[in-house]
Amino acid sequence: MEGREYMYSPAVPEGRYEIFTCQQPPQTARKKKNKIVNKSRFSAEQIKSLESSFETETRLEPRKKVQLARELGLQPRQIAIWFQNRRARWKSKQIENEYKTLKDNYDNLASQFESLKKEKQSLLIQLQILGDLLEKTHGGNEDSKGLEGKSAVCTSNNVNTNSETKAKLSCFQKGMEGSAVMCPHEDKTGIGNSAEEGQGLLNMTEHVHVPFASLEKWYTYDSCGLLDQLCSSSY
DNA sequence: ATCGCATTTCAAGTTACCTCA
DNA sequence: TTTGAGGTAACTTGAAATGCG
């Protein structure tokens, strides 16, 4: 199809350039809506030249347009239209790319959110188990009474815990990490009294298959502010 | 200074043709 | 051979900018 160009009917709209063939007469002219059009694509060389011009500047000065038209054997009007269409294509490509980027970001965040949700569930289950265990170990203890019901509350997504429970959880975590770290509440709860106890709890956590390293992540990704509360709670 | 008009250019949307699977 | 989709040159429309009397 290279080499063929445009042939418009004499019925050219007022103020418009008449676009005509430079090399060949119209072979396949068709009549439609007052227009006789022999439309074909620009040649590879023409496109190449237009593209390289577009790379340097997306808008053409009138002088440059005329010069380019002369070089390529086209009408200045054709050059102008080509640049208009090219800008439109460029813009839609930009929008497409932006959409792609946004979608990728969204997908990443969504999958992060999902895995955090699962992790949260695991931790809540873990919390429940620990609460039950505390209750069993220190059944008559006043403090364990305080923990009563907390585990049940924690089974829902809507975690409703008080600072005491949070402090216990925090102590428990410290016990896991340091094995013998003393807890501010040790006199009341008895948790963290010895390295043995800490180790025992560690074994328990292994039993429920919840990695404690994930708690670290919680501090980073906590989205509902629970851990902020936990960390800032006074005890 | 500013108003009105003509002209030009642009973006956005549309039309019509061509190519190809 | 027909047909539908996709690409693209050219057109239409409305708005903004500019120049001139």
Q: Which nucleotides of strand B come closer than 7 angstroms to any CB of the protein?
A: 8-13, 15-19
Three-state secondary structure along A74-115?
CCHHHHHHHHHHHHHHHHHHHHHHHHHHHHHHHHHHHHHHHH
Q: Which nucleotides of strand C come closer than 7 angstroms to any CB of the protein?
A: 8-12
Crossing angle for the helix pair A76-137 and A163-178, to the nearest 10 degrees: 90
Burial of A40 per CB tally in 10 Å (0-12, 13-18, 19+): middle
What's the rounded Cα separation, in Å, for the pair A109 and A93?
24
Q: What is the pTM of this model?
A: 0.54
Query: How do the pLDDT tens digits run along chain A, 235 residues long?
Result: 222 223 333 223 322 333 333 333 332 233 334 343 456 789 988 998 999 999 888 998 888 898 899 899 888 999 999 999 999 999 888 888 888 889 899 999 999 999 999 999 999 999 999 999 999 888 755 444 444 444 444 344 444 444 444 454 454 444 444 333 333 333 333 333 333 333 433 344 333 433 333 333 333 333 334 333 333 333 3
Question: CA-to-C1' distance for A8 and B16, Å?
Answer: 13
Name the residue among A226, A219, A221 with its Cα closest to residue A159. A226
Distance of CA A175 to the CA centre of its chain: 37
CB A35 within 8 A of CB A1: no
Q: H-type helices in A57-211, by residue range?
A: 62-72, 76-137, 142-147, 150-154, 163-178, 186-189, 195-207
Question: CA-to-C1' distance for A57 and B18, Å?
Answer: 29
Nearest residue (CA) to C1' of B17: A39
Looking at residue A87, its pLDDT comes to 92
Nearest residue (CA) to C1' of B9: A80
- Report helix, strand or coil for A35: strand
Name the residue among A41, A40, A71, A39 with its Cα closest to residue A53. A71
